[in-house]
């Protein structure tokens, strides 16, 4: 949809809710093109086979993350994904209520053509959920403090090459590259395993079948420690090779400077990001921890750069962003058409 530059319009998605009105520059929204959904549903998963599993960690770390590749050839999943979508995994066994484990989603960490170049091998970046148990509801045992292991993440990380795994998908219809990627520039923001889809998208943009994309691409990766920087060598080498690709590491528990992705972008606004947000070609992608959105939206409002990226509904206003609290933001602030968001 093309709209007049700089004017105010009711935009895509706003049709459903006329109280959303934003100011936008031309063009406002990416054309995402066709996408397949749920070719394989959780009720009838197909069998994939693990073809590789590698640790993503750089030295000793408090986290355990693996890059796991699964062969889905001969199933309806083969060739059905686009970079940015997710696949489902069903762990064997039953949950506490005696029911088969529910499907868990994992973002594709490979380009549309898969790890093998023909869409038969999909991959993801999976982090083991490991913690000490803590009660979440009043009915939970308040005294318990045993080891808590996430069911599916640990199952997936434990799998060995050759093991079979039940898979479903594709899932997700909006967190995608535009059908014509050359029409846009990209700000990819990740926390933790939120880097997974960008590992696929950056490979697609810079090392796909045609010439490398001429788009400007900024990747901002936030982790607690440098040892948690996933695919760090790859992104650093792409930044060396491609003038238009910029890789920003943001470390939150550094002894030197404690930084979060929104504060980093705030600090670098005048030197790097203001012109990027003001550029009508720019799309912003956010992937990773739930909660990363609110800091970004507040910061964009503070800089007067919300147009197309953030939509605010009454009674909140952009001008009064300082007064936004978590509860009111959840109800009244949402992504605009130039923001693509996958948080979990
Ligand atoms: C679209 C999408 C994409 C995703 N992509 C990825 C990805 O690329 N990589 C990735 O690693 N994950 C990804 N996830 C998350 C993934 O789907 C799973 O939620 C995650 O792996 C945890 O699943 P699990 O079965 O290991 O944990 P579960 O067994 O489901 O346990 C986690 C749940 O247990 C509870 N819990 C957590 N900690 C505690 C505690 N200390 N005490 C008591 N209860 C607790 C919480 O309610 C939590 O939801 C994605 C999710 C979505 C929706």
pLDDT bin (cut points 50, 70, 90) of residue 241 is very high
Q: Which atom of ligand 1 is nearest to the CA of 194?
A: 8
Ligand 1, atom 9, lies closest to the CA of: 126
Number of Cβ atoms within 10 Å of the Cβ of 339: 22
Ligand 1 and 56: CB distance under 6 A? no
Residues 273 and 146 in one domain: no
Residue whose C-alpha is closest to residue 338's, from 16, 6, 32: 32
Residues 201 and 320 in one domain: yes
The CA 29 to ligand 1 mean position distance, Å, reads 31
- Last-in-domain residue among 151, 171, 191: 171
Any idea what the CATH number is for the domain that residue 137 is in? 2.40.30.10
Ligand 1, atom 10, lies closest to the CA of: 126
pLDDT in tens, 265-308: 999 999 999 999 999 999 999 999 988 999 999 999 999 999 99
Any idea what the CATH number is for the domain that residue 196 is in? 3.40.50.80
pTM of the model: 0.92
Lowest mean pLDDT among 2-16, 88-102, 217-231: 2-16
Residue whose C-alpha is closest to residue 300's, from 333, 326, 327, 325: 333
Residue 59 lies in a domain: yes
pLDDT bin (cut points 50, 70, 90) of residue 72 is very high
CA distance linking residue 72 with residue 79, whole number of Å? 9
Residue 149 lies in a domain: yes
Residue 222 three-state SS: strand
Ligand 1 and 29: CB distance under 6 A? no
pLDDT in tens, 16-70: 443 344 444 465 689 999 999 999 999 999 999 999 999 999 888 889 999 999 9
Residues 196 and 275 in one domain: yes
- Last-in-domain residue among 126, 148, 171: 171
- How many structural domains is the chain composed of? 2
Residue 185 lies in a domain: yes
pLDDT bin (cut points 50, 70, 90) of residue 12 is very low
Query: What is the predicted pLDDT for the residue at 271?
Result: 96
Query: What is the predicted pLDDT for the residue at 142?
Result: 95
pLDDT in tens, 326-335: 899 999 999 9
CA distance linking residue 48 with residue 157, whole number of Å? 15
What separation in angstroms does the CA of 300 have from each of 307, 313, 330? 9, 16, 16
Give percent of the chain with pLDDT exceeding 90: 86
- Last-in-domain residue among 106, 137, 171: 171
Residue whose C-alpha is closest to residue 279's, from 337, 220, 221, 338: 338
Residue 318 three-state SS: coil
Radius of gyration of the chain, Cα coordinates, nearest whole angstrom:
21
Residue 32 lies in a domain: no
Residues 163 and 58 in one domain: yes
Residue 67 lies in a domain: yes
Q: Does the pLDDT value for residue 188 go beyond 80?
A: yes
Residues 252 and 161 in one domain: no
Q: Does the pLDDT value for residue 135 go beyond 90?
A: yes
Ligand 1 and 158: CB distance under 6 A? no
Residue whose C-alpha is closest to residue 308's, from 281, 338, 283, 334: 338
Residues 165 and 182 in one domain: no
Is residue 214 within 8 Å of residue 184, measured between CB atoms?
no
CA distance linking residue 269 with residue 271, whole number of Å? 6
Residues 125 and 211 in one domain: no
Is residue 94 within 8 Å of residue 189, measured between CB atoms?
no
Ligand 1 and 104: CB distance under 6 A? yes
Is residue 94 within 8 Å of residue 100, measured between CB atoms?
yes
Residue 10 lies in a domain: no
CA distance linking residue 200 with residue 260, whole number of Å? 23
Mutate to test the pocket of ligand 1, among 38, 105, 143 (most ligand atoms within 8 A of CB): 105
Q: Which range marks the domain in which residue 139 is found?
A: 46-171
Query: What is the predicted pLDDT for the residue at 5?
Result: 30
Is residue 286 within 8 Å of residue 266, measured between CB atoms?
no
Lowest mean pLDDT among 6-15, 174-183, 209-218, 277-286: 6-15
Q: Does the pLDDT value for residue 13 go beyond 80?
A: no
pLDDT bin (cut points 50, 70, 90) of residue 147 is very high
Residues 282 and 195 in one domain: yes
Q: Enumerate the β-bridge partners of residue 189.
A: 220, 286
Is residue 234 within 8 Å of residue 244, measured between CB atoms?
no
Residues 315 and 193 in one domain: yes
Residue at token pair 């948690």: 228
Residues 149 and 212 in one domain: no
Residues 159 and 207 in one domain: no
Token pair of 47 as six digits = 């069998």
First to last CA, the chain: 29
Ligand 1 and 151: CB distance under 6 A? yes
Residue whose C-alpha is closest to residue 302's, from 272, 335, 267, 271: 267
Residues 239 and 290 in one domain: yes
């Amino acid at each position: 949809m093309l709209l007049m530059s700089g004017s105010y319009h009711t935009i895509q998605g706003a049709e459903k809710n006329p109280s959303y009105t934003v100011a936008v520059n031309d063009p406002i929204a990416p054309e995402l093109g066709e996408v397949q959904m749920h070719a394989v549903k959780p009720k009838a998963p197909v069998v994939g086979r693990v073809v590789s599993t590698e640790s993503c960690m750089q030295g000793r770390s408090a986290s355990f993350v693996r890059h796991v590749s699964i062969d889905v050839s001969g199933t309806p999943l083969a060739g059905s994904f686009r970079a940015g979508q997710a696949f489902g995994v069903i762990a064997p066994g039953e949950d506490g209520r005696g029911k088969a484990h529910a499907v868990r989603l994992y973002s594709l960490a490979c380009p549309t053509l898969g790890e093998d170049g023909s869409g038969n091998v999909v991959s993801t970046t999976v982090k083991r959920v490991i913690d000490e148990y803590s009660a979440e509801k009043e009915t939970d045992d308040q005294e318990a403090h045993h080891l808590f292991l996430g069911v599916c993440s640990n199952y997936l990380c434990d799998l060995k090459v050759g093991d079979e795994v039940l898979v479903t998908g594709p899932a997700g219809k909006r967190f995608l590259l535009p059908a014509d990627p050359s029409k846009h520039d990209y700000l990819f923001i990740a926390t933790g395993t939120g880097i997974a889809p960008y590992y696929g998208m950056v490979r697609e943009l810079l090392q796909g079948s045609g010439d490398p994309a001429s788009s400007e691409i900024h990747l901002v990766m936030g982790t607690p420690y440098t040892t948690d920087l996933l695919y760090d060598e790859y992104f650093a080498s792409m930044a060396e090779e491609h003038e238009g690709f910029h890789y920003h590491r943001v470390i939150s528990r550094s002894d030197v400077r404690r930084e979060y992705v929104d504060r980093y972008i705030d600090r670098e606004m005048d030197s790097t990001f203001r012109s990027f947000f003001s550029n009508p070609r720019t799309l912003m992608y956010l992937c990773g921890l739930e909660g990363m959105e609110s800091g970004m939206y507040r910061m964009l409002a503070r800089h007067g750069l919300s147009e197309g990226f953030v939509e605010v509904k009454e009674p909140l206003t952009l001008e009064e962003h300082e007064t936004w609290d978590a509860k009111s933001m959840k109800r009244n602030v949402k992504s605009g058409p130039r923001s693509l968001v996958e948080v979990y």
